Structure 1
Amino acid sequence: MALARVSSSSLLLLLPSSTTTSSLLHSFLRPFSTSSVSTRRLSHPRSLPIDASISQASPLPPTAREEGEVAGAPRPTSRRPWKPTCLYYTQGKCTMMDDALHVEKFNHNLSMDLPVNASAADKVKPQKLDYFLVLDLEGKVEILEFPVVMIDAHSMEFIDSFHRFVRPTGMSEQRIKEYIEGKYGKFGVDRVWHDTAIPFEEVLQEFEDWIGGHKLWKQKQGESLNSSAFVTCGNWDLKTKVPEQCKVSKIKLPSYFMEWINLKDIYLNFYNRRATGMMTMMRELQIPIVGSHHLGMDDTKNITRVVQRMLADGAVIQITTRRQPDTNDVKFLFKNRIR
């Protein structure tokens, strides 16, 4: 697959769900520019400036809403009011960064929802990988949203994010309209989806440019990710959905999707208890949810918060599942796993 030389500042946004709030929000948004935002390259990944974040308003305890800290981690010394992040910005298409009212109303910094401090990082055990790419796809018929949050496996710090809305290729325009209204209309983000969604093949081309920019993968090698791995909450995303979407999009399954970490298996083996999903993990770990459940970027952030907490608790997070390239058979590496 040829790489599209496209910049990818990964970002996140979230639009309020109420009609009144949504109308007010739309009054702040003007058509986005088709030019992409340049991605910052870093000579030392851990010092990368944060430039992405999003989440939908949700009822959080006051301190969590104001500070966005991971439960159990020391709180920041200064408080800030929680605010949603611009979803146009997460995709490199916000044209309102010079609008003071817009910048005041919406968050444009993902690290604000994923804070880490030195005392928590000191508890992290040596990891076999250097980076985790937390992924949580949305879309049952075809993939509608492809959000990834990259964190440092040793410091737990946010490094970057990649976020794209995905336009189905095997559905009629009427079906797409109904699909999106049912899926994203309730969150008030159907407009941004229609404004920004691109076909899955284009999403992967931009994603390959993104992971290539971080030196996590080289196309010519045809190998797995370099010192990094996807983290998913379950096997569905990479065992089932991505291969299905590749068939619909008539493309070969890329080599970087051949192995991943099922966080449910790590959770089971580390805490010695089963978790049916992200919400169960967050409830048991007393981590307040940020944003809207089933909005991909928000779920990805919340799963990242679980990963951060587990690292701070001393978990070693490693590959749990691997696909055989010749047969496409999937091998589960943990004897004790969620079935």
Structure 2
Amino acid sequence: MAIVFFSRFPLLRRFPVSSPALPYSSSIQLNRRITISASISTAEESTSSSSSLIQHTLSRTRWKPMCLYFTQGKCTKMDDPMHIDKFNHNCSLEFMQNAARLENLRQQEFEYFLVLDLEGKVEILEFPVLLFDAKTLDVVDLFHRFVRPTKMHEERINQYIEGKYGKLGVDRVWHDTAVPFAEVIEQFEVWLSERQLWRNELGVCLNNAAFVTCGNWDLKTKVPQQCSVAGMKLPPYFNEWINLKDVFLNFYKRRAPGMLSMMRELQIPLSGSHHLGIDDSNNIARVIHHMLTDGALLQITAKRNPRSPEKVEFLFKNRII
């Protein structure tokens, strides 16, 4: 894989898939040779002007669940009309752009937002990240992995997954695709590097991008815990993030303690299954879309001390505890 060097030029607005989806098998192991085909993207390039935003409208069709093999680059049924009709294979948000609302847009500090919503209380079970373009107001790519617990025996894992994903009907997909957390992070770093969002040699913050979470738990608590369990150092790009709850509170002057309450306040209908990480990330992206068109500015709300990772500074005076 070629080494990617940063430049002062902005990233491309789209990240086209460069090779076919990986063949699926129940024992597949994605390794250091992971390719861009393991991520999802739309193929067209778009401009960043307001006029292109107005013209970039997506026809509203009946809602379909996301193909969870596709989100991980493992769908082998792309040529099956029945499968395509049943499942969604597009990470783009389903929104009709409103020209009047676009007048409220503000220049953001970051070009991209990495929308993250982890699942799993004992250990992380799902690691979904949507790449949201702050200028086109759309999801342009995603990284999604199911995560196999590091320190659980098989019987406990089965109970854990049945309790978490069985009721959502996606436990089979989890068992077919889940990989250990350390492997997930290795693949994620390749994904970041390919998109010029981070480079291991620099070992610092993200490049013109920021994580957005619904609360502090994901990056303040859970990722450090999981890194400890997996016997690995906390990657430096997890040292700062935007807690959307705090931005919401300071922008609208209204408390919304969770994703569902934010959606109710903004009159956004829930899409997909609540507590399926990839669906929750999509719903958070829809909240971000609405807030940006209202004129919100998404700023870093929390920073971790690199020398003392357990110490986190919260930057907003008014925040959700």
Whether the aligned pair in 2 keeps the contact of 1:32 and 1:94 (CA below 8 Å) is: no
**Aligned equivalent of 1:297, options 252, 266, 278:** 278
Mark the CA change 1:124 to 1:32 in structure 2 (over 3 Å): closer, same or farther: farther
Identify the residue that residue 155 of structure 2 maps to in structure 1: 174
Are 1:143 and 2:141 matched, yes or no?
no
1:47 maps to a residue whose letter is E
**Aligned equivalent of 1:202, options 183, 204, 208:** 183
Deviates most, 75-84 or 290-299: 75-84
Identify the residue that residue 169 of structure 2 maps to in structure 1: 188
Identify the residue that residue 80 of structure 1 maps to in structure 2: 61
Runs of 5+ unmatched residues, structure 2: 4-15, 18-23, 47-53
2:123 maps to a residue whose letter is E
Identify the residue that residue 37 of structure 2 maps to in structure 1: 39
For residue 192 of structure 2, give the secondary structure of its aligned residue in structure 1: helix
Give the Å deviation of 1:313: 0.2
Mark the CA change 1:242 to 1:102 in structure 2 (over 3 Å): closer, same or farther: same
Q: How far apart are the structure 1 equivalents of 2:195 and 2:224?
A: 24
Mark the CA change 1:176 to 1:236 in structure 2 (over 3 Å): closer, same or farther: same
Are 1:267 and 2:267 matched, yes or no?
no
**Aligned equivalent of 1:117, options 97, 109, 125:** 97
Give the Å deviation of 1:272: 0.3
Give the Å deviation of 1:78: 4.1
Whether the aligned pair in 2 keeps the contact of 1:114 and 1:301 (CA below 8 Å) is: no
Which deviations, in whole Å up to 9, do the C-alpha atoms of 1:177-223 show, x marking residues without a partner? 00000000000000000000000000001100111111010101110
Which deviations, in whole Å up to 9, do the C-alpha atoms of 1:99-121 show, x marking residues without a partner? 1211121110121x443537244
**Aligned equivalent of 2:200, options 216, 219, 226:** 219
Identify the residue that residue 327 of structure 1 maps to in structure 2: 308
Which deviations, in whole Å up to 9, do the C-alpha atoms of 1:271-318 show, x marking residues without a partner? 001111000000010000001111100100000100000000000001
Aligned length: 286
Q: How far apart are the structure 1 equivalents of 2:36 and 2:228?
A: 31
Are 1:242 and 2:223 matched, yes or no?
yes
Structure of greater relative contact order (alpha carbons < 8 Å, 6+ residues apart): 1
2:122 maps to a residue whose letter is V
Q: How far apart are the structure 2 equivalents of 1:244 and 1:81?
A: 39
Q: How far apart are the structure 1 equivalents of 2:262 and 2:303?
A: 24
Q: How far apart are the structure 2 equivalents of 1:174 and 1:122?
A: 55
TM-score (norm 1): 0.79
For residue 151 of structure 1, give the secondary structure of its aligned residue in structure 2: strand
Identify the residue that residue 74 of structure 2 maps to in structure 1: 93
For residue 127 of structure 1, give the secondary structure of its aligned residue in structure 2: coil
Cα RMSD (Å): 2.6
Whether the aligned pair in 2 keeps the contact of 1:121 and 1:155 (CA below 8 Å) is: no
Q: Which 4+ stretches in 1 moved above 6 angstroms?
A: none
Mark the CA change 1:217 to 1:79 in structure 2 (over 3 Å): closer, same or farther: closer
Q: How far apart are the structure 1 equivalents of 2:27 and 2:103?
A: 42
Give the Å deviation of 1:76: 5.2
2:81 maps to a residue whose letter is A
Q: How far apart are the structure 1 equivalents of 2:120 and 2:306?
A: 25
Mark the CA change 1:154 to 1:164 in structure 2 (over 3 Å): closer, same or farther: same
For residue 298 of structure 2, give the secondary structure of its aligned residue in structure 1: coil
Are 1:276 and 2:276 matched, yes or no?
no
Aligned pairs for 1:21-36 (under 5 A) are 31=25, 34=28
Q: How far apart are the structure 1 equivalents of 2:58 and 2:185?
A: 40
Give the Å deviation of 1:127: 0.7
| Percent of aligned pairs with the same amino acid | 58
Deviates most, 155-164 or 271-280: 155-164
Q: How far apart are the structure 2 equivalents of 1:137 and 1:251?
A: 18
Are 1:254 and 2:252 matched, yes or no?
no
Mark the CA change 1:187 to 1:193 in structure 2 (over 3 Å): closer, same or farther: same
Q: How far apart are the structure 1 equivalents of 2:307 and 2:249?
A: 30
